[in-house]
Chains A and B, each alone.
Chain A
Amino acid sequence: MQLSQIISASKDVVAREVGGEMVLLDLASGQYFGLDRIGGRIWELLTEGPRSLSDLCDVIEAEFDAPRNTIETDLQALLSSLGEQELILANPS
Chain B
Amino acid sequence: MDWTLQKPRLQKPLPSQPYDRWVSPAGVCMAEFHRAEGGYYLRFPGQADFLLSIPASGEAQAVTAWPLPDCDTQTVTNLFHNAIQPILGNHTGGLFLHGSAVKLKDERGAIAFLGLSRGGKTTLAGSFASEGNPFLTEDVIDLERRDGQYWLQPKRSKLRLFIDSARHLIGEGHGFLDEDRKQDVDAGDALPFADEAAPLRQIYVLGTDHSASLSIRQFSLQEALGALMPHAFILDVEDKERLRGHFARMADLAQDIGCFALDYTRDYAELPRVKAAVLQNLSAA
A binding-site residues for B, Cβ under 8 Å: 12, 14, 16, 18-21, 23, 25, 27, 30, 32, 34
| Shortest CB distance A37–B (Å) | 12
List A contacts of B225 (CB < 8 A): 16, 18, 23, 32
The majority secondary structure among interface residues of chain A is: strand
The majority secondary structure among interface residues of chain B is: helix
Check if A12 sits within 8 Å of B240, measured CB to CB. yes
Of the listed stretches B68-76, B133-141, B242-250, B272-280, chain A binds: B242-250
Q: Is B221 an interface residue (CB 8 A)?
A: yes
How many of chain B's residues have a CB under 8 angstroms from any CB in A? 16
Q: Is B60 an interface residue (CB 8 A)?
A: no
Check if A19 sits within 8 Å of B243, measured CB to CB. no
Q: With contacts A18-B255, A19-B255 known, is A30 near B237, CB below 8 A?
A: yes
Which of A21, A25, A32 lies in contact with B221, CB distance below 8 A? Answer: A21
List B contacts of A16 (CB < 8 A): 225, 247-248, 251
Bound-state Cα–Cα, A69 to B229, Å: 38
| Shortest CB distance B183–A (Å) | 34
Check if A18 sits within 8 Å of B221, measured CB to CB. yes
What are 18 inter-chain pairs, A to B, with CB distance below 8 A? A12-B240, A16-B225, A16-B247, A18-B221, A18-B222, A18-B224, A18-B225, A18-B255, A20-B221, A21-B220, A23-B222, A23-B251, A25-B243, A30-B237, A32-B222, A32-B225, A32-B226, A32-B229
Bound-state Cα–Cα, A32 to B220, Å: 14
| Shortest CB distance B194–A (Å) | 30
Contact indicator per residue, chain B 212-256, by CB within 8 Å of chain A (1) or not (0) = 000000001110111001000000010010011001100100110
Bound-state Cα–Cα, A25 to B225, Å: 10
Bound-state Cα–Cα, A20 to B220, Å: 11
List A contacts of B254 (CB < 8 A): 18
| Shortest CB distance A34–B (Å) | 4
Q: With contacts A14-B247, A16-B251, A32-B226 known, is A27 near B240, CB below 8 A?
A: yes
Contacts A14-B243, A18-B222 known; 17 new A-B pairs at CB < 8 A: A12-B240, A14-B244, A16-B225, A16-B251, A18-B221, A18-B225, A18-B254, A19-B222, A19-B255, A20-B221, A21-B222, A23-B225, A25-B229, A27-B243, A27-B244, A30-B237, A32-B225
Bound-state Cα–Cα, A27 to B245, Å: 12
| Shortest CB distance A16–B (Å) | 4
List B contacts of A23 (CB < 8 A): 222, 225-226, 251
Bound-state Cα–Cα, A14 to B249, Å: 13
